Every structure is written in structure tokens, then in C-alpha cells.
A and B are shown apart, each in its own frame.
Chain A
Amino acid sequence: MNDKLSLQDLVDILSKKAKITKKDADSFFREFFQLILERIFDNDSVKVKDFGTFKLISVSSRESVNVNTGEKIEIPSHYKLSFLPDKILKNLVNKPFSQFETILLEDGVVFEASVDNSENAVEDEVVENQEIDIENEDESIVSEIEKPIVVESAPIIDNVNNTPVREKDIDKVNSEKESRPQDSSKQRYPQSFVYTYTSSKPSEESDSIILTVPKDDLVRPVVSSEPEIEEVIQEEVPVQKEFPIELLDLPHVPVDGNDEEEEDDDVQEEDSSDKSTIVEESEEVAIEGEKVENIIEDVQPEVIEDEEEVVVESVLLVEPLSKNIVSDDLELESDFDSEIETEEDIIIPAPIPVIERLAKKETSFVDRDAQNKIKEEKKAAFSNEDPERPLFPVEEEEVVTEMDFVPLGESGYEGVEASEANEKEPVIPSVGNQRSYAGNNKPAETRSVSFSDTIDPVDIPYHDFNSPDIGSRFRKWLPMIAFLLVIVASLTYGLIKMLNKPYDFESNLGRTNLSLTDTLPFIDEVSPMVEATDAMLDSMKKVQAQVVEDTVKTMKKEPIVPIAKESAVEPKVEAVKAAIVGETDSLTRGTIDAEKNSFVISDKLKFGILNKAEFHLEKYKNESKAESASGSQVKPQVEPKVEAKPASDSKAKYATIRKGTTLRTLATTHYGNPDYWVYIYQANKKNIANPNNVPIGTSLLIPPLSDYGVYNPSDAREIQVAKNLEAKILRLR
């Protein structure tokens, strides 16, 4: 590539290719070019196939200008040897660009301007980046300026040197802002041009122009907000510094009559140059001591009033400017407004610490040092944080207590979860769970903290904008909150597991020993009658296994609802009956409860009252026959369910992720509802790195829903639980 070949190289290649001696090849080339030249100078054109045409062209004399001297010279007529490449050679050489075609340009597309602007735009961006860097530095400078106002004269001089530089930057920024709207209108073209260029469809140009617009919008607010902040800070600083001027009753008050931005800057530059002397004077004044203190206290209110006027003026200065910049951009306007508000916040309380410092300077040196330290710490925090939102610790804490916790307690999502937890708690079957239940009764503080982490994510940016420090406080608390959350999550997870255990009646079927703890939690529900049965249980503990098996068999054959009835829980059975008449959902719930009762209790208890059960069964059958058709329809539904569940429990299904399958589709096929994908995810957590992107070919265990306490997949509440879980999982990502 890009080699320079000589005739010798050509000879070598040709001799190799045509399998002739080098001598022959050399002589051939020499004769070839010699012949061409000869024919050319005979004023004949020479055409070589596949290569091109050599031609002698006569150029007539023309006038020209000597570039160096500017004299007019005449270029005499002369001949020119031209080579016109053949079409084959042209195409061969142009192969890399062969896909391009000539494009017809629509009206209104300014091509030259767009090319220029694309370069300009890039330069502009670079310049803006530099500006931003400078501004960042300036912020630190500003914080430096604020620190040692009266302490020492040397640093102040440094600062004075710094301020003009900063103001120049601002000038740049302002001029840039003024030019920005033009840029944005022009910037559309280069991008549209690029678009059409690649697509080579001129008809789509108008669309492409529209496409570029949002990009501009995205870029501009970010950039233009930066200089605005700068201004805010700039205006804040001089106001603070003007205080000593007021104090000394100097005639030079720069704030008044600042109609134009440039004048303002000039005056401030003068102001800053004056300041070195002023500050020295103010130092002297400070040394004078208590007199000055008195004066300060007298002057203080006036000063504040003056400063408010200043604020108003500065606002006036800012507003027209912002309207000039982007009158159409409402977002920006609102930004300015908010900044103006913050500006007022900043300025009014600012001078007070200065006065305090002046006052305390004489009284106690150590005090002042300590104060300065505190000041510096604040300043450090100030410069670290976004300059838009300065810190005011006293106000913050109020804000935090009022705004952060109160709405959180009301947040709907947590409330749902908590209520669910409360629903589940009474059902806890074992003593071990009571500890975890107690664990939920945490002190109010910790609970509120854990809630605050689970605020709706939409709320967080809102807090960030208005009260800045909540964000940082949040960050401080985040590890603790996360830790608490993990604990709570693990506790609830364990709770769910515990809750699932009693449902696993298949294992209970095999058990012959029933302890008091198994039945204990049901005391609440089941009334004192169960206590009596417990007593009975203890006495019946040495029952032969055969009898138990018999009872189990009978149970399996018969519908469970009637059995539950005869387990001496009359009111409950009444409820179940009502449910049968009513909705199917609540019926199945009732049957589940009935199952629990029957299996846990009846294992041991039922043989003693088997006769009674049969009696009730007969009675119930009669009743259900008498009842409406819906009741009879429901009953068969119950039976297969009871039998199907052990089957699904014993063997878990497996599925492989294929192309196009997701966890949701799997859940739809296996559970009938896509929301239950969370349970598939829970069962295969270690295989699934990201639930949104499960690699093809992953083999997944499809757990029975009963493992997760879901018995009726169409129940709206179960779906809600699954959705909550989904939200939790997705938030953890």
C-alpha cells in the first residue's frame, strides 16, 4: 500500500507473471514507453487497452499574475501530456468508494454552510468543555474567596488576582450564550446531511431534520445551566464583600446603576481592585474592636435590606438574559427561576457569619479559629456538592424529619406489604416462627428507616432537587438501610418458608407423632374446642399406625370440606359452606384451611370421631345436593385439586429456555399467569444472573406454585404478591 514502485519493480512482477525473462520484460517496458513517447511527439494519441489514452494537448497562451510580485505575466501557449484512464482502470482504482452515488440535493439544504458549521460545532463543544472545566476551578476559587475575608491580607490579594480572571470567563460564557441560539438552528444541517449521506435517500431529509432537534434540546440545557450557576455565585460573592464597604461609608457603591452586564463586570473588577485596600482598612477597623462591634450591630439590618435590593437587581439582570437565550425553552426558564430562588436563599443569610466573625475576632482568637474550621468544613461540603444547592444544616434537619418520613409511612406499597405480613403472622405454625414474628415488632425508628429506603424511586429525584441534603443523607444511611433490608428480607423469606411447610401435607401424612406445637397456632382461630382436642391428642398418642393409615385413606377418598367440619370446628365449617355458595376462590381458600386442620389434627384425632365424620359427611352431601348447581360444580373442582397437588409436589418440572422464551412466557405456560415468573426465578436464582436476559439453553426448574404459598393462581391477591415480589427483584438489579 502506498508504495513507490520503479520500473525495475514492474519488470520483476511482469517477468514473474508472464513467465518471461527479466531481460525480455525490461526490454518490453522500455520499448513500450519509448513507443508511446514517440507517437505522442508525433502529435498522435496512443490508446492502450484497459489502461488509458495518452494524448498531447495544446494549451493556448493566457494571462496570469505572478504570485510573488503581483505582476501580470503571460503564460505562453504550450503542450501538455495528458493521460485519460480507461473506464476499467477508473473503476478498479475507485473500488473503495464505488458504493457512493451522486445525490440530488433538495432545496433549503445549505451544504457549504453545514459543512462549515459541523466543524464550528465541534470547536464550540470543545470550547464549552473547557469553559466547564474553568468554571469548576472557579467554584473552588469562590469557596476560597469566601473563607478568609478578613483574616489575612495576603490571601485576599491572591483572591483579588483571581476574580478578574473569573469574570473574564463569565464574559466568554455570556458571549457564548448569546451566540448559542444561532448555533442550534444551524446544527441541524450537518446532522441531517450525515443522515442522508448514509441512507442516500434525499426524500427523508425533512424527517432527519426533525430527528436532530431533540438532540439539541438535550445538549443545551445542560451546558447553559452551568454558566448560570456561575453567575449566581459571582453575584453572591461581591455582595458579601460589599459589606465592609458599607461599613466604612465609602463613596464607591458599585451595585447601583448596573444596567448592563458589561458595566457590571467592569465595576466589579474595579471593585475587586479596590477591595485589597478596603480589606486592609477593614482589618484596622476590626482591630479597633468593640466600637466596630457596635457599629456592625447597628448597620446589620440596613445591610440586609440593601442586599435584598441587590438581589432584586441581580434577578432583573438575570431574567432578561435568560429570555434572550431561549425564550422557547420552558424547562430552562423554570431552571432559572429555581436558581433565582436559591440565590435569594444564599444571599440573605450569608453576611451574618461575616459579621459574627468580625465581632468575635477581638473577643476570642480561639473561637474564631474554631469557627473558621467549621466554616471551612461547610465550604468543603459546599464545593463537593452541587453548587446549586448549598447546605443549611438547621433547615435541613427540619426538612428531613418532615418531608422524608411522614410521606413514607403513607406510601402505599409498604402498607400493602405490611398488611400482608400481618395477615400471615397469625397463621405461623411453630414456636420458632414466633421469634421472627417478634422481630417484626421493631422499634419505630428502625422501621421508619427501612421504609425510607423503599420509597418509590420517583420520589427521590424530587427530594434531590428541592432539598439537596437529603440525597447526601440518604447516601450516608444507604449501607445501614441496605443491611436492614437484607435482614428483613431474609426474615420474611424464612417466614414464607415456614408458612409453606404446613401446606406441605404430603409429608405430614406420613407423620405419626403430633406435638402440641403443630396445633398451637390454630388455637386462635379454632376456638377452645381445639384445646380440648389437644388434650385428647396427648392421651391418644400411642395409637397404632394402621389406624392412622386407614383414616388417611378415607380422607383421601372423601372431599375434605366435610372432614374439616367434623374436626369440631363448627363455625369454620359454616364459613366454608358460605364460601361454597359464594365464590370459588374463597372456597378453595377455605378448603386449604380445612385441609390444614384436617391433616394436622385429623391424623391423630379423627379415628376417634370417625363415625361422627361420616355422619356429617352424609349430612353435607344431602345439603350440597339441595344447593344450587354452582355448589355442585365447585365440588368436583376441589377433589382433583387435592389429588393433583401431591403429584406436582413430588416431581418438579423442568424447562429449557429456547429462542423466544422468557421467564414470563414460561410462567404463562406452566402457571397460566405471566406474573408468577418470579417464582421460577426464585427457584433458579443461581442459574439466572439477570432475569431480563436468561441465556438460551438454560435449563430451569419449574417449581410447583404451592411451594410459594400460591394455591390459586387466579387469585388477584396472589398475583399482587407476585407483582410486589417482581418489583422487589427488579429493583435489586
Chain B
Amino acid sequence: MTNKELIAELSKRLDWTQAQTSKILEDAVSVVNTNLANSNSINIQGFGLFETKRRQERMSVNPVSKQRFLVPPKITTAFRPGQVVKDKLKKLSENE
């Protein structure tokens, strides 16, 4: 599902125009992004938790050339699915 399809589906469900939905979606994403950039964590009930994690620097080796690299520390975004989602996933795997 691409972004276009998402907007189309959302506008249909919310009864909004596609332009309006697209604009609101952009705003919503920017709100979430800025909060994550400020290392705030965002917990959404029934969906999951968005948070930032600091990855320690590490050394990696190129397996072909055997060159070693020092990878600098970085901050990444992490998503932990909530309990509701986990249960659904479990069900999904049990059904199969």
C-alpha cells in the first residue's frame, strides 16, 4: 500500500477530500517526526510505541576485503508494537 492508496482510503473513510487528507497526513507525520527528533517517545494505545534509541559505536569488518570500519554512534527510531497488536499477531500465526 503506497502513500497514495493510503490517502485515498483515509479520505474515503473520513469523508474528507483527498487534498485535505493529504495535508493533514503531512502535518501529522511532521508532528510525529519532530517529537521523535526531540527524543520524545510516542505511545499510541492499541498500536505501539515509537521511541528513539542510541546505538553505541561499533566496529564492523568488511567480510570480503577484511577492512575494519569504526561505525559511529547514532540515534535510531524504534517501534515496539503494543499488546493488542501482539495478540493479533499471535492469533495470526496460530491460525496458520
Contact = CB atoms under 8 A, between A and B. Distances in A.
Interface of A: 1-7, 10, 13-14, 17-18, 20, 24-25, 27-29, 31-33, 35-37, 39, 41, 44-52, 54, 56, 58, 76-83, 85, 88-90, 92-97, 100-105, 111-112, 197
Contact of B92 (A28, A29, A79, A100): A79
Q: 9 smallest A-B Cβ distances: which pairs?
A: A100-B72, A83-B79, A85-B77, A49-B3, A78-B93, A18-B27, A103-B70, A105-B68, A81-B81
Nearest to B35: A5
25 contacts: A1-B40, A5-B40, A6-B43, A14-B24, A18-B24, A18-B28, A24-B24, A27-B14, A32-B10, A37-B88, A49-B29, A54-B79, A56-B89, A77-B93, A81-B79, A81-B85, A83-B48, A83-B78, A85-B76, A89-B33, A92-B33, A96-B75, A102-B70, A105-B59, A105-B67
A37 B41 CA distance: 20
A94 B6 CA distance: 27
A50 B89 contact: no
Contacts of B71: 102
B89 A94 contact: no
Given A6-B45, A50-B29, A102 B68 contact: no
Nearest to A100: B72
Given A81-B81, A97-B72, A104-B67, A50 B90 contact: no
Contacts of A90: 76-77
A4 B40 contact: yes
A3 B52 CA distance: 11
B1 A45 contact: yes
Given A28-B28, A47-B1, A78-B93, A2 B40 contact: yes
A32 to B, nearest CB: 6
Contacts of B43: 4-7
B26 A50 contact: yes
A81 B73 contact: no
Interface in B56-84: 59, 67-79, 81
Given A5-B43, A79-B93, A104-B69, A94 B28 contact: no
Given A83-B79, A88-B33, A89-B77, A104 B68 contact: yes
Given A31-B13, A32-B25, A81-B85, 4 more contacts: A5-B43, A18-B28, A78-B93, A102-B71
A508 B4 CA distance: 105
A82 B76 CA distance: 14
A4 B89 contact: no
Contacts of A52: 77
Contacts of B28: 10, 14, 18, 25, 28-29, 32
Most buried by B among A46, A82, A93: A93
A94 B42 contact: no
Contacts of B6: 35, 46-48
A39 B41 CA distance: 24
B19 interface: no
Nearest to A106: B68
A104 B70 CA distance: 6
B80 to A, nearest CB: 9
Contact of B10 (A31, A82, A93): A31
A355 to B, nearest CB: 67
A94 B76 CA distance: 7
A259 B90 CA distance: 73
B1 A50 contact: no
Nearest to B71: A102
Interface string B29-40: 111111111111
Contacts of B52: 93
A95 B42 contact: no
Contacts of A41: 88, 92
Contacts of A100: 72-74
Contacts of A35: 6, 9-10, 13
A44 B59 CA distance: 35
B25 to A, nearest CB: 7
B44 A13 contact: no
Nearest to A193: B70
A393 B6 CA distance: 96
Nearest to A92: B37
Contacts of B36: 89, 92-93
Contacts of B1: 39, 44-47
A668 to B, nearest CB: 52
A81 B44 CA distance: 15
A39 B47 CA distance: 13
Contact of A51 (B14, B32, B38): B32
A644 to B, nearest CB: 70
Contacts of B10: 28, 31-32, 35
Contacts of B50: 83
Given A28-B24, A41-B92, A17 B31 contact: yes
B70 A111 contact: yes
Contacts of B41: 2-5
A453 B31 CA distance: 74
Contacts of A85: 76-77
A111 B68 contact: yes
Given A37-B47, A112-B59, A97 B74 contact: yes
B68 A93 contact: no
A35 B47 CA distance: 11
Given A4-B41, A105-B59, A10 B31 contact: yes
Contacts of A50: 26, 29-30, 33
B43 to A, nearest CB: 6
Contacts of A76: 93
Most buried by B among A24, A32, A45, A111: A32
Contacts of A47: 1-3, 6
A101 B77 CA distance: 19
B47 A105 contact: no
A548 B43 CA distance: 107
Contacts of B29: 48-51
